[in-house]
Structure formats: C-alpha cells, structure tokens
C-alpha cells in the first residue's frame, strides 16, 4: 500500500465493519455459526442497511450509525424469535442431507484462511492500483449521480431508496441506494471525504466481501476441502468481468456491490432446497428474505443474476422430488420439499417479467449489439470480454467443469446455468434490438458488461467443482490400490494439488487479461488537467464554493463540464447535478439564455425563482465531445463577455460568477 492510502485505512476498517458486523450479529441470532455466519454476514448486512434506510423516514429517524444499530437490533430480534419458535435455540444449526458435506456452521480451516488471504491480497492490490489514489474519482457519467447521491444522503440524512432518485435534481423517486447508504455511513463514522470513502468501500467490497461470498458458496455446494477453499479464493481473483469491469464501465458501483453478494444468496437457496425440518426453516427463510431485500436495494438486476442459477437448481429439485412421488405423501416434510420449489419457480417467472427498468416494447432505447455471434461465443467461452486476451485461468476450469462435472447428476443444473449465461451474453452482444432480446437481457439494460459480470457466478462454481471432481477421482483411483505407499500418496494429493492450483492459477491469471483489465479501469480514475469531467483545478474551486456562495443559493452550470460535482465536493447546490437531470422550465431558461440576463427579463425571473444568483463557467474540455446533449447549455457559456456578471473566484480556466443583472439575493 502506497503512502497515499494510509489516511484511507480508517475508512477501510469502517467499511469492513459496517459491511459485515450487522449481518454477523443477525446471522448468529438466526443460528448460523463459524464460517457459516461469516459467509452470509455481508449479504445480511446489505439487507439491514438497505431496509433500515427505507424504514427510517417512516419512524422519523435520520440516517446515522444509531439508525443502523436499531435496524440491526430489530432484525436480530426477529431472527432470535423465529429460531426460538422453531425450537432451535439450544441446537446446532440445520444439517444438510447426506451427501452434501456442508452445514450452516462450517468450520474455519487453514485453507479457508489462506484462500481468503490470497484472494484479498491479489484483488486488494489490483484495486489500489486501479484507483490510484483514494482522492481520485471515476471520470464516468454514472459516477456523477453516485457521488452526488452520497452527498444528498449526508445533507438530508435520508438514505431511503424510495427517495434517492431526487439526487438528480428532480422529485423523490426510487433508486436502489444500499451502496450509497454504506458509503455515507463510512463518511459519517470517519469524516473521510466522499471520494476517499468510495475508494475505501470499494476495496473492501472487492477484496473481502466478494471472496467471502465465493468461498462460502463453494463450500455450501461442494463441501469442506482444501481444494474448495483454495480454488474458490484464487478463481475469485482471476476474472476480469468481475470485479474489474464493474469498476471501469459505467461506473457500475451498485451492480458491483450486489454482484459481490449474489453467490451467498444462491448458496442459501441451495440450503433451503435440502431436506430440512420445516419448523427449523423459519430463520433460514427470514435470512433469505432479508438477503433478497438487501441485494434488491443494492441493485434489482442482481436478483435476476441469482435467478439464472437458482431457477435451474429449483427445476432439478422438482424433477427429483417428482421422481420420488413426494407429492403423494401427506407428511409435512414432504409437502415442504415439494411446495417450496413450486413457489420459487412461480416467483421466478413473475420476477423475470416484472423486474426490468423499461418495458419490453422499449427495446430500441438501450445498448446496441457490437459483434457477431461467433465473436460473442468466443468471448464467453474464453472469458475474453471487451476484446481482451483470453482469460485461461478463469475460462478453462469452467469449461472442464462443464464437460466433466456439469453434465452429470446432480449437477446438470449448473451446466444448464452456464449455457443460459452463454445464451444471454451472445444475445446481448450480437442480436439486433427486438422484443426477444429485451425479454432476455432487458433486466440488465441490454448491457453486455452487466451480463458478463453475472456469468462469473456460475463459471466460478463450475471451476471449483471441476477441481473438486478431478481431485476426488484421482484419490479414488489411488485408494483402489492395496499398496500402503499408494495410500500415503493419496493423503498427500490434496496438499500437492492445492499448492499447484494456487501457484499455477495465480501465475496464469495475473499475467494475462487481469492486469489488462486493471490497466483499462485505472485510466478512468484521475484528477489530471485533461480529465474528462473534473480536473484538480475544478476540484479546488469547488472546495472553496462555501466561502463565496451563501447557503441556500444555487449555482447555474453545465453539468457536462464537471460542475455537476461541485455539489458532491462542497455541498453547495447546483442547478444541474447530473448530465441527465430532470429540468424545470425555469432551469431550461437558464441553460439556454442565462448569459442574456441583462437584456431578457424572463431570465431574471427564473434566477429569482430558483435562487440561482451564481454560475460556473469552464473553458476546460467538455465530457464526450460531440454528444448533442452537452450543447444544450449555451446560456452558461461566455459569461466573461456578458454584461451583468461579476467574477467572484477563479482557478485555472474555471470561474465562478455572480449574476448582478438580477439584483442581489434576498
């Protein structure tokens, strides 16, 4: 870690505690133990954070650490009560049926620790390299909203996802806010700047939450074993589609947070479909509900990501239950085993149809295809997204798993899920816009980057399963020999193979497309003079705004020149806090004719109504030159040559003016 990151260490610690501790308390009250509790803790924490943010305004509570503490207490109390009702308070957590060597209380072994540490170290170092400095920001359009939304939460102490849409300058509307809620709590608890809190939180999400979720899910599906822990940890650091692509394109911070948790939710669904006593399942059901609510409030399309794995799993369960004629049994446990998959399947159909950001009929408004089907297929099979080199460390284990493992009972559902992700990616990357394409991939905005990230969940599980299956086959063959020396060799195989896998996968994965993806992502994080949105000069001018602009006044601006972030940096309101801000007629008047304030009475009328007695003008580069949207603000240009404006402050090519033509603020 470079010296520039040392001041961000308290923010990282705070982010880790906030992202894990609330869920850990809830998990313990629900009956999870040891690594089971730790594995589901980030998922349940997202639920507590997101739901607490939504619930707080209804109880007259401001967003603060105390609000999160109350939410944690309430969720824990419900879990403890449900566990007591199920008479499980004095018992160990539920044990899965024979054949699945995993419980909700798996132990923490040396390989678990090594797997987590290796993954955390690789991903953490990569992320620090990508971000460059904790004070840098991703110079991308979506990040304008994300950072301003955090400032909005801090200013109004309202973290409700039902209200967060107002951060773009319009009225209150729904926007999934759990990621923003988490980062705002880091700012509140440490006093870190918003960029530093964002960087610290994202390092924790990528380097800690994602490996935890990956290893927990792998152990849930494949049981305890050296190879499971080590392969899951190494493979988690070997994909480019996640986490690095989500830190580059967009930027997709809510998707990034949700994707780090989705494997834990899939693991809970797997456990739920096992042979459990219905009475003891109540806390598990509540945990799934809380986790589902959490990732929905992080980003709704993570639910769709989970469904691509869960629906085939449910279908496989239905087939097995029907083959045993469980539906003809009147025993409660058999009804439970049959009814639950049916409910899951019905809910999946409804969610897939309803959970999309736009109707299927609007299939022409999203991202177009960019390659032919053959190229898209090659990208998917070789994990070579975005035209990068092949990611053999990530792709080859998944392909081996598909052939040797994913096409066999009881793991065919995993192979089906892999093929479904392939269908989704090839469709979004190569198919022309149509209702069919919108139905399949509209939940991800028809965005290939989001779909590619989702495929990582199944590819990772297939890769871990492949190593587990191959190792088990080798061990069985050796043990068939009566030779004592062969038996000793068999016992040493896990250690030897585990060490080989860790070293080979690290060398292969970290020398091919992973560094390439990190380099590409790192180009977006800077504060240089030629930054696409906000330069260091602009940042420093925005820091000084509270010294010049009275509290309550609004600054007219062209958001495409970086001034939308003046609100994030200073807390001073700007007229257009996003490049896609919803505009009132008065705001449009200022965007088009503010520089005519001395001669156009309608301009001053709009200035007075909006209290926009200040304006920012920049001669630096405009974001996305040539985009017709950034030319809709001619009234903000040329203020230095327009009568009725006085210069208040300037740094470099960036200037703050007062609109003297319209009088002085009341």
* pLDDT tens, position by position, 617-636: 988 878 888 788 888 999 99
**Taking the C-alpha atoms of 90, 92, 98 and 102 in order, what is their torsion angle to the nearest 10 degrees?**
160
Looking at residue 358, its pLDDT comes to 82
d(CA 326, CA 339): 10
d(CA 666, CA 649): 21
CA distances from 136 to 2, 46, 58 (A): 14, 25, 36
In eight-state DSSP terms, residue 629 is G
CA distances from 309 to 66, 270, 274, 304, 383 (A): 37, 10, 16, 9, 19
The residue count for the chain? 666
Of 518, 446, 524, nearest to 239 by C-alpha is: 518
d(CA 560, CA 621): 9
d(CA 535, CA 569): 12
Domains of the chain: which residue ranges? 3-520, 536-662
pTM: 0.92
d(CA 515, CA 244): 10
- Of 170-184, 402-416, 436-450, 500-514, minimum mean pLDDT range: 500-514
Mean pLDDT for the stretch of residues 631-658: 93
The token pair that represents 108 in the structure block = 């923490």
DSSP string covering 150-169: HHHHHHHT---TTTGGGGGS
Buried b (16+ CB within 10 A) or exposed e, 469-496: bbbeeebeebeeeeeeeeeebbeebbee
CA distances from 461 to 104, 168, 267, 292, 458 (A): 19, 39, 11, 20, 5
d(CA 263, CA 271): 12
Answer for the pair 233, 211: CB distance below 8 angstroms, yes or no: yes
Comparing 6 with 104, which gets the higher pLDDT? Answer: 6
pLDDT at residue 206 above 60? yes
d(CA 45, CA 452): 26
List residues bridging with 573 in a β-sheet: 554
The top-scoring range by mean pLDDT among 34-43, 359-368, 469-478, 488-497 is 34-43
d(CA 153, CA 149): 6
Of 116, 357, 384, nearest to 255 by C-alpha is: 357
pLDDT at residue 94 above 50? no
List residues bridging with 556 in a β-sheet: 615
Q: Is 614 helix (H, G, I), strand (E, B) or coil?
A: strand
In eight-state DSSP terms, residue 3 is G
Q: Is 276 helix (H, G, I), strand (E, B) or coil?
A: coil
Predicted confidence band of residue 102 (pLDDT cuts 50, 70, 90): very low
Helical spans, DSSP H, in 207-252: 210-222, 226-236
In eight-state DSSP terms, residue 384 is -
Positive or negative: CA dihedral 536, 538, 543, 547 = positive
Looking at residue 89, its pLDDT comes to 40
Mean pLDDT for the stretch of residues 381-405: 87
At the top level of CATH, the class of 536-662 is: alpha beta
d(CA 155, CA 577): 14
d(CA 366, CA 208): 33
d(CA 177, CA 175): 6
Mean pLDDT for the stretch of residues 298-303: 93
Contacts of 414 (CB under 8 A, 6+ apart): 309, 312, 401, 405, 406, 458, 461, 462, 465
The token pair that represents 268 in the structure block = 């809970």
Looking at residue 317, its pLDDT comes to 74
List residues bridging with 654 in a β-sheet: 618, 651
Query: Phi and psi (nearest 5°) for 256?
Result: -60, -45
Looking at residue 97, its pLDDT comes to 40
Mean pLDDT for the stretch of residues 390-400: 89
The token pair that represents 110 in the structure block = 């040396």
CB-neighbour burial class of residue 332 (10 A; exposed 0-12, middle 13-18, buried 19+) = exposed
d(CA 499, CA 85): 46
CA distances from 392 to 127, 377, 506, 514 (A): 21, 15, 11, 10
**Residue in the block written with tokens 């809709």:** 632
**234-288 tens-digit pLDDT:** 999 999 999 999 999 989 999 999 999 999 999 998 888 775 555 467 888 899 9
Of 664, 533, 662, nearest to 606 by C-alpha is: 662
CA distances from 83 to 34, 80, 282 (A): 17, 5, 7
User: ∠ at Cα 653 (650, 655), nearest 5°?
Assistant: 35
Q: What's the distance, CA 359 to chain centroid?
A: 23
Query: Phi and psi (nearest 5°) for 368?
Result: -80, 165
Mean pLDDT for the stretch of residues 427-432: 94
User: ∠ at Cα 569 (563, 573), nearest 5°?
Assistant: 65
Predicted confidence band of residue 103 (pLDDT cuts 50, 70, 90): low
Q: Is 89 helix (H, G, I), strand (E, B) or coil?
A: coil
Q: What's the distance, CA 459 to chain centroid?
A: 18
pLDDT at residue 664 above 80? no
**324-339 tens-digit pLDDT:** 554 455 555 555 556 6
**61-93 tens-digit pLDDT:** 999 999 999 999 999 999 988 887 766 443 444
Looking at residue 100, its pLDDT comes to 35
Comparing 211 with 489, which gets the higher pLDDT? Answer: 211
**167-176 tens-digit pLDDT:** 988 888 999 9
**519-549 tens-digit pLDDT:** 999 999 998 888 889 999 999 999 999 999 9
Answer for the pair 255, 299: CB distance below 8 angstroms, yes or no: yes
Of 391, 450, 505, 429, nearest to 262 by C-alpha is: 450
d(CA 254, CA 477): 47
d(CA 212, CA 200): 17
d(CA 137, CA 345): 41
In eight-state DSSP terms, residue 407 is T
């Amino acid at each position: 870690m470079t010296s520039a990151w040392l001041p961000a260490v308290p923010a990282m610690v705070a982010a880790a505690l906030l992202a894990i501790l609330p869920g850990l308390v809830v998990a313990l009250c629900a009956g999870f133990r040891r690594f089971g509790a730790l594995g589901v803790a980030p998922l349940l924490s997202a639920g507590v954070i997101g739901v607490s943010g939504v619930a707080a305004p209804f109880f007259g509570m401001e967003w603060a650490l105390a609000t999160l503490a109350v939410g944690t207490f309430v969720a824990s109390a419900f879990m403890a009560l449900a566990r007591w009702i199920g008479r499980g308070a004095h018992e160990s957590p539920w044990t899965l049926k024979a054949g699945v060597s995993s419980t909700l209380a798996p132990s923490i072994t040396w390989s678990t620790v090594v797997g987590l540490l290796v993954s955390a170290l690789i991903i953490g170092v990569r992320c620090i390299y990508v971000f460059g400095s904790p004070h840098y920001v991703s110079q991308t359009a979506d990040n304008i909203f994300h950072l301003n939304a955090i400032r909005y939460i801090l200013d109004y102490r309202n973290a409700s996802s039902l209200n967060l849409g107002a951060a773009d300058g319009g009225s209150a509307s729904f926007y999934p806010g759990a990621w923003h809620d988490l980062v705002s709590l880091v700012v509140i608890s440490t006093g870190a700047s918003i960029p530093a809190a964002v960087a610290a939180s994202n390092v924790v999400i990528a380097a800690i939450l994602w490996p935890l979720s990956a290893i927990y899910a792998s152990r849930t599906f494949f049981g305890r074993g050296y190879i499971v822990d080590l392969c899951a940890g190494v493979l988690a650091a070997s994909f480019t589609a996640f986490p690095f692509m989500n830190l580059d394109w967009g930027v997709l911070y809510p998707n990034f947070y949700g994707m780090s948790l989705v494997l834990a939710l899939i693991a809970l669904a797997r456990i739920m479909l096992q042979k459990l006593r219905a009475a003891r399942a109540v806390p598990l059901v509540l945990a799934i509900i809380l986790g589902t609510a959490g990732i929905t409030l992080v980003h709704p399309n993570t639910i769709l990501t989970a469904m691509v794995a869960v629906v085939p799993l449910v279908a496989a369960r239905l087939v097995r239950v029907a083959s045993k004629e469980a539906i003809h049994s009147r025993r409660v446990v058999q009804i439970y085993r049959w009814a639950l998959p049916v409910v899951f399947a019905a809910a999946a159909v409804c969610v897939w149809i309803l959970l999309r950001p736009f109707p299927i009929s609007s299939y022409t408004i999203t991202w177009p295809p960019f390659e032919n089907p053959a190229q898209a297929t090659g990208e998917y099979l070789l994990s070579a997204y975005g035209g990068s080199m092949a990611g053999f460390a990530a792709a080859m284990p998944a392909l081996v798993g598909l052939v040797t493992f994913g096409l066999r009972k009881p793991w065919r559902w995993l192979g089906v899920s892999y093929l479904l992700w392939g269908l989704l990616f090839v469709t979004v990357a190569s198919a022309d816009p149509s209702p069919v394409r919108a139905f399949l991939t509209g939940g991800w905005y028809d965005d290939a980057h989001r779909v590619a990230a989702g495929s990582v969940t199944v590819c990772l599980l297939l890769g871990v399963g492949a190593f587990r299956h191959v190792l088990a086959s080798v061990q069985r063959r050796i043990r068939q020999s009566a030779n004592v020396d062969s038996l000793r060799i068999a016992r040493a195989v896990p250690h030897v193979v585990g060490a080989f896998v860790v070293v080979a996968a690290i060398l292969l994965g970290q020398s091919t497309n992973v560094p390439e993806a990190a380099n590409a992502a790192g180009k977006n994080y800077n504060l240089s003079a030629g930054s696409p949105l906000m330069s260091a000069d602009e940042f420093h001018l925005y820091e000084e705004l509270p010294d010049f602009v009275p509290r309550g006044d609004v600054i007219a601006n062209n958001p495409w020149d970086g001034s939308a972030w003046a609100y994030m940096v200073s807390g001073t309101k700007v007229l257009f806090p996003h490049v896609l801000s919803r505009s009132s007629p008065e705001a449009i008047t200022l965007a088009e004719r503010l520089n005519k304030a001395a001669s156009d009475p309608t301009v001053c009328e709009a200035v007075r109504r909006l209290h926009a007695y200040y304006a920012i003008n920049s001669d630096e580069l405009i974001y996305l030159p040539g985009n017709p949207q950034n030319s809709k603000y001619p009234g903000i240009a040329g203020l230095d040559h327009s009568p009725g404006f006085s210069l208040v402050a300037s740094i470099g090519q960036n200037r703050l003016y007062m609109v003297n033509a319209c009088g002085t603020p009341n």
